[in-house]
C-alpha cells in the first residue's frame, strides 16, 4: 500500500515482539482463569481471590501479595501470597490492618498508590507497624496498591510488593487494575446471589408453612387416629394383664400395636417438623422414595377428606440423589396438594392421585398424575409463572417455587395432559455423581 512517509519509531526486535506477545497471552490466560473461577464458584469467593493473587504474583513478579476488604475498623486480609524466602522471616502483616495504619488506610484510598521505595516513604520513616516489619524482616521495597471500586466506594484493594527496587510498569498497573475489577465483579455477583438465595429460601419457607397451614386440620385428624388407637391398645393391654391368669400373648400383641401407633404418630410429627423448621438449604444424600412416603403420610387425611385415593408406585433401587430433602418434599407436597385441590373441584368423577418414581438414564423421574379437570392451553402456558392462579384462594407461587427448587437441583419440572384425563406433572433430578455414588456401568 502506498502511504505517506513519516519518520517511524524504532521497530521492536523479533525477540521483543515475541516477549510482548507471550506476556499478552499470559495476561489473557490469567484473566480467563479468573473468569472461570468466578463462573464456577458464584457462592464462594475464596477460589476467585486465590486465582487473582496467583496470577498477579506470577505476572508482576512480586514476593508479597494480598487482597484486603474494607470494613469499619480497617482492611481485612482475605487472601495472601508470600514468597518462601520472605515467609521464612515474616508471617505477613496483621489480618486486620486497623485504621490509622498505612495498610488500614489504603482501604479508603480511591486511586492506585505506587511507591518505588517504601523504605524512603513517610510511613516507614514514622515507624508504621504495618510497614516496618515488611521492610526490615522481609526486605520489601517497591509497593503497589490498587483499589477495588464499586460505585465510587472503596470496597478493598490488592496490594503487591517486591523485594527489589523496581517500579511497576504501566502495563503491570493496568493488569492489576483489571484484576481489581474482576474481584469487584465477583464480590458483587456473590452478594446478589446471596441476597437472592435468601429471599428465595424465605419465600419457599413461607409457601411451605402456608400449605401446611391449609393441611393443619387434616394433619391433626391424621394424628388423632394413632393417638386414639394408642389409648385403646393401652387399655386392652392392661385388661389382658389383669385377667387371672394374665393373657400374656394378647397383652404382647397390644403392646406391639402401641409401638406401631407411636411410630406412626412420630413419623407424622417428624415430617411436619422437618417441613416447618427454618434451616439453611443443604445438600445431603437422600432416598427420594422415603421422602415421598413421608409426604404421602401428611396428605393422607386431606386426600380422604376430598374423596381422593392415593396410589404410590415407587421404583426399587433408585440411584442415590444429593439434594435438600425438605425442598424436594416441598415440591412433592405442592404438586400433590394441587392435584387434590384440582380434583375436588370436580363433582362425581373418580379421584385418583398417583405418585410414581422411575429410574432414568442419569437420575430419577418423579411423576404426579391426577384425574382432575386437567390443564387448559392457557394454563399450560402460564402454570409456572409467579402469581398465576385460577383458584379463588390461590396465591400462584407454588409451581414457580417448585420449578426453581428443581432447577437448583439440576433437574427439570414440566406439565402435560394425562391420559385419558387429568394433569401429569413430572420432574427429574440427576443422580449423585459424587465419589462412592452408585453408578450404572
Ligand X SMILES: Nc1ncnc2c1ncn2[C@@H]1O[C@H](COP(=O)(O)OP(=O)(O)O)[C@@H](O)[C@H]1O
- In terms of CB distance, is 237 or 398 closer to ligand X? 398
Chain positions 336 to 355 lying near ligand X, rule: CB under 6 A, are: 338-339, 342
**Contact between 93 and Mg ion (CB under 5 A)?**
no
Residue nearest to Mg ion (CB): 398
Q: Which does 327 bind (CB under 5 to 8 A by kind): ligand X, Mg ion, none?
A: none
The nearer residue to Mg ion, 220 or 395, going by C-beta atoms, is: 395
Which of 115-123, 147-155, 397-405, 431-439 is the region at the interface with ligand X (rule: CB under 6 A)? 397-405
Binding to ligand X by residue 212, rule CB under 6 A? no
Would you call 146 helix, strand, or coil by DSSP? Answer: strand
Query: Which of 383, 405, 406, 429 contacts ligand X by CB under 6 A?
Result: 383
- Distance between CA atoms of 101 and 270, rounded to whole angstroms? 55
Q: How far is the CB of 376 from Mg ion (least distance, A)?
A: 16
CB hemisphere CA count around 327 (13 angstroms): 24
Residues numbered 47-106 forming contacts with ligand X, rule: CB under 6 A: none
Binding status of residue 398 toward Mg ion by CB under 5 A: yes
* Cα separation, 347 vs 235, whole angstroms: 42
Q: Toward ligand X, which CB reaches closer, 216 or 395?
A: 395
Q: Please name which of 276, 274, 308, 303 lies closest in space to residue 291, comparing C-alpha atoms.
A: 274
- Note whether 428 binds Mg ion by CB under 5 A: no
Instruction: Report, in Å, the least distance between residue 431 CB and ligand X.
Output: 27
Q: Position of cell 445438600?
A: 283
Task: Give 103's Cβ-side CA count (13 Å radius).
Answer: 28
Please state, in angstroms and as integers, the Cα–Cα distance from residue 268 to each residue in 114, 272, 288, 329, following that order.
Answer: 66, 6, 17, 13
Of these, 327, 336, 338, 404, which contacts Mg ion (CB under 5 A)? 338
Residue 423 lies near ligand X (rule: CB under 6 A): yes
Residues in the chain: 441
Residue 319's binding partner among ligand X, Mg ion, none (Cβ under 5 to 8 angstroms by kind) is none
Residue 370 interacts with ligand X (CB under 6 A): yes or no: yes
303 binds ligand X (CB under 6 A): no
Q: Which H or E element spans position 374?
A: none
Enumerate long-range contacts of 31-35, CB under 8 Å, 24 or more apart.
31/178, 31/182, 34/179, 34/182, 34/186, 35/182
Of 144, 258, 399, 406, which one interacts with ligand X (CB under 6 A)?
Answer: 399
Calpha distance 91→87 (Å, rounded): 6
Give the dihedral sign, CA 85/87/93/95: positive
Q: Which residues contact 301 (CB under 8 A, 6 or more apart)?
A: 218, 219, 221, 222
What's the rounded Cα separation, in Å, for the pair 209 and 215?
A: 10
The x, y and z cell numbers of residue 231, run together, are: 389409648
388 counts as binding ligand X under rule CB under 6 A: yes
Span near ligand X by CB under 6 A; candidates 155-163, 196-204, 218-226, 365-373: 365-373
Q: Which of 92, 281, 396, 410 binds ligand X (CB under 6 A)?
A: 396
Residue 389 within binding range of ligand X, rule CB under 6 A: yes
Q: How many CA atoms lie within 13 A of 418 on its CB side?
A: 19
Task: Supply the DSSP symbol for 312.
Answer: E
| Nearer to ligand X among residue 128 and residue 370 (C-beta) | 370
Half-sphere exposure of 290 (CA within 13 A, CB side): 12
How far apart (Å, rounded) are the C-alpha atoms in residues 66 and 88? Answer: 17
- Least Å distance between CB 340 and Mg ion? 10
* Nearer of residues 79 and 343 to ligand X, judged by Cβ: 343
**379 scored as a contact of ligand X (CB under 6 A):** yes
Contact of residue 391 among ligand X, Mg ion, none (CB under 5-8 Å per partner type): ligand X
Rounded to a whole number of angstroms, the minimum distance from the CB of residue 311 to ligand X is: 15
- The one segment of 12-20, 288-296, 307-315, 397-405 that binds Mg ion by CB under 5 A: 397-405
**Residue 396: which of ligand X, Mg ion, none does it interact with, CB under 5 to 8 A by kind?**
ligand X
Residues at the contact surface with Mg ion, assessed by CB under 5 A: 338, 398
What does the binding site for ligand X look like in residue numbers (CB under 6 A)? 334, 338-339, 342, 370, 372-373, 375, 379, 383, 388-391, 394-399, 423
Amino acid at each position: 500500500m502506498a502511504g505517506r512517509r513519516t519518520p517511524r519509531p524504532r521497530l521492536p526486535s523479533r525477540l521483543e515482539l515475541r516477549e510482548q506477545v507471550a506476556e499478552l497471552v499470559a495476561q489473557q490466560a490469567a484473566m480467563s482463569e479468573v473468569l472461570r473461577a468466578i463462573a464456577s464458584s458464584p457462592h464462594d469467593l475464596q477460589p476467585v481471590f486465590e486465582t487473582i493473587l496467583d496470577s498477579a504474583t506470577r505476572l508482576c513478579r512480586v514476593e508479597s501479595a494480598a487482597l484486603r476488604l474494607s470494613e469499619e475498623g480497617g482492611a481485612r486480609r482475605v487472601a495472601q501470597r508470600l514468597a518462601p524466602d520472605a515467609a521464612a522471616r515474616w508471617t505477613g502483616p496483621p489480618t486486620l490492618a486497623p485504621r490509622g495504619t498505612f495498610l488500614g488506610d489504603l482501604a479508603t484510598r480511591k486511586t492506585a498508590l505506587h511507591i518505588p521505595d517504601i523504605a524512603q516513604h513517610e510511613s516507614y520513616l514514622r515507624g508504621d507497624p504495618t510497614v516496618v516489619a515488611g521492610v526490615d524482616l522481609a526486605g520489601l521495597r517497591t509497593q503497589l496498591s490498587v483499589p477495588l471500586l464499586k460505585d465510587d466506594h472503596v470496597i478493598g484493594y490488592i496490594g503487591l510488593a517486591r523485594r527489589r527496587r523496581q517500579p511497576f510498569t504501566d502495563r503491570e498497573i493496568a493488569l492489576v487494575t483489571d484484576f481489581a475489577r474482576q474481584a469487584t465483579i465477583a464480590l458483587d455477583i456473590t452478594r446478589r446471589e446471596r441476597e437472592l438465595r435468601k429471599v428465595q429460601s424465605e419465600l419457599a419457607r413461607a409457601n411451605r408453612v402456608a400449605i401446611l397451614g391449609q393441611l393443619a386440620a387434616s394433619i391433626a385428624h391424621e394424628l388423632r387416629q394413632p393417638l386414639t388407637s394408642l389409648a385403646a391398645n393401652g387399655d386392652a393391654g392392661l385388661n389382658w394383664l389383669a385377667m387371672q391368669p394374665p393373657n400374656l400373648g394378647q397383652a404382647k400383641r397390644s403392646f406391639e400395636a402401641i409401638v406401631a401407633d407411636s411410630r406412626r404418630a412420630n413419623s407424622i410429627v417428624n415430617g411436619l417438623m422437618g417441613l416447618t423448621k427454618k434451616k439453611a438449604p443443604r445438600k445431603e444424600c437422600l432416598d427420594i422414595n422415603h421422602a415421598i412416603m413421608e409426604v404421602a403420610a401428611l396428605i393422607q387425611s386431606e386426600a380422604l377428606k376430598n374423596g381422593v385415593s392415593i396410589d404410590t408406585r415407587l421404583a426399587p433401587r433408585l440411584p442415590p440423589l444429593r439434594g435438600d430433602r425438605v425442598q424436594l418434599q416441598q415440591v412433592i407436597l405442592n404438586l400433590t396438594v394441587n392435584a387434590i385441590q384440582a380434583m375436588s373441584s370436580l363433582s362425581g368423577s373418580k379421584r385418583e392421585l398417583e405418585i410414581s418414581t422411575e429410574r432414568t438414564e442419569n437420575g430419577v423421574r418423579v411423576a404426579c398424575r391426577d384425574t382432575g379437570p386437567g390443564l387448559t392451553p392457557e394454563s399450560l402456558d402460564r402454570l409456572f409463572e409467579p402469581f398465576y392462579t385460577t383458584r379463588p384462594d390461590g396465591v400462584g407461587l407454588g409451581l414457580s417455587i417448585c420449578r426453581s427448587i428443581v432447577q437448583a437441583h439440576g433437574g427439570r419440572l414440566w406439565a402435560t395432559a394425562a391420559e385419558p384425563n387429568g394433569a401429569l406433572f413430572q420432574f427429574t433430578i440427576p443422580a449423585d455423581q459424587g465419589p462412592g455414588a452408585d453408578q450404572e456401568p
